[in-house]
Amino acid sequence: MSLYSPKEIAAIAIQAGVTKSRASTSYLIILGFMAGAFIAIGFLLDLHVINQLPADWGSFGTFLGASVFPVGLILTILAGGELLTGNMMTLPIAWFARQISGVSVLRNWFWVTIANFLGSIAVAWFFGHMLGMTEGDYLKKTMAMVNAKIHADFLHAFISGIGCNWLVCLAVWLAFASKDVPGKIFGIWFPVMAFVAIGFQHVVANMFIIPAAIFAGQATWADYVPNFFAVFLGNAVGGAVFVGLVYYLAYRPVTEQATAAR
């Protein structure tokens, strides 16, 4: 078969978490930078697709933008990258299985957060600001997106973050399920398209679009900080609890294998 079973996926996710926990700091920074840039490029593509669409297209225009956004996660998984939101599932499920320590989870998240931020703001500065790809004719749409994010209160941003990373980590889960490239792309595309079309908040995507508004002089870092923490925590719960913990409790692949071996 070209697919792994859900229980096999759980074992693969745990092994991925173990591997990531052992990665060097330089590895995490390099591939974290790339993943942040990939997600930013996906968001930039979304912005450019929807910018000139007629207003009466309504939600269909939103769907068109959401349909191209997944290129960021596709590049991250297939080309190679360390993405914070995906690691919010793979590291915790390995921790739940007692294969890694809590400190190694936090170490990975710390360095990947920094690297994702650097990659995202690099795209925001060089492509968005210097080339004007989030400003000029695109600024109105950029600010419409940003205002919806930074004006959400903490609770709403937190819950939105849960919904987002529930879907993003399911996309990673489905990518693990397939043994071939087309299957991985389809597995990634549907959940990511869904979170974007719904309007959930993704902490790494926000590392691109909100700084883009800041570089345009339309927002401040003080506007961004509360959003970052709310969405970060929501994404962590969505990935670690709604995917990592749920599937670990359902399948317990490492625990059962260890028991059978005794």
Domain count, the chain: 1
Contact at 8 Å (CB) between 40 and 83?
no
Amino acid at 161: G
Q: Which residues of 124-144 are buried (b: 16+ CB within 10 A; e: fewer)?
A: bbebbbeeebbbeebbebbbe
Task: Flag whether 170 is in a domain.
Answer: yes
Burial of 84 (0-12, 13-18, 19+ CB in 10 A): buried
Q: 1 lies in a domain? A: no
Q: pLDDT value at position 26?
A: 98
pLDDT in tens, the chain (262 residues): 589 999 999 999 999 999 999 999 999 999 999 999 999 999 999 999 999 888 888 889 999 999 999 999 999 999 999 999 999 999 999 999 999 999 999 999 999 999 999 999 999 999 999 999 999 999 999 999 999 999 999 999 999 999 999 999 999 999 999 999 999 999 999 999 999 999 999 999 999 999 999 999 999 999 999 999 999 999 999 999 999 999 999 998 864 443 433 3
Domain that holds residue 132: 6-255
- The CA-atom distances, in angstroms, between 57 and each of 51, 53, 54 are 12, 7, 6
**Res 52: pLDDT:** 87
Find out whether 169 and 16 touch, Cβ atoms under 8 Å: no
CA 205, chain centre distance (Å): 7
Q: Tell me the Cα Rg of the chain.
A: 18
pLDDT at 56: 83
Picking from 161, 123, 100, 118, the residue whose alpha carbon sits closest to that of residue 28 is: 118
Q: Is residue 246 part of a domain?
A: yes
Per the domain annotation, does 59 fall within a domain? Answer: yes
User: Would residue 243 count as lying in a domain?
Assistant: yes
Whichever domain contains 156, its CATH number is 1.20.1080.10
Looking at the domain assignment, is residue 262 inside a domain? no
* Domain contains 260: no
Q: What is the pLDDT of residue 258?
A: 38
Find out whether 184 and 192 touch, Cβ atoms under 8 Å: no
Q: What's the confidence (pLDDT) of residue 41?
A: 98
Q: How far apart are CA 162 and CA 89, in angstroms?
A: 12
Look at residue 261 and tell me if it is in a domain: no
Q: What is the pLDDT at residue 96?
A: 97
The total of other beta-carbon atoms located within 10 Å of residue 62's CB is: 17
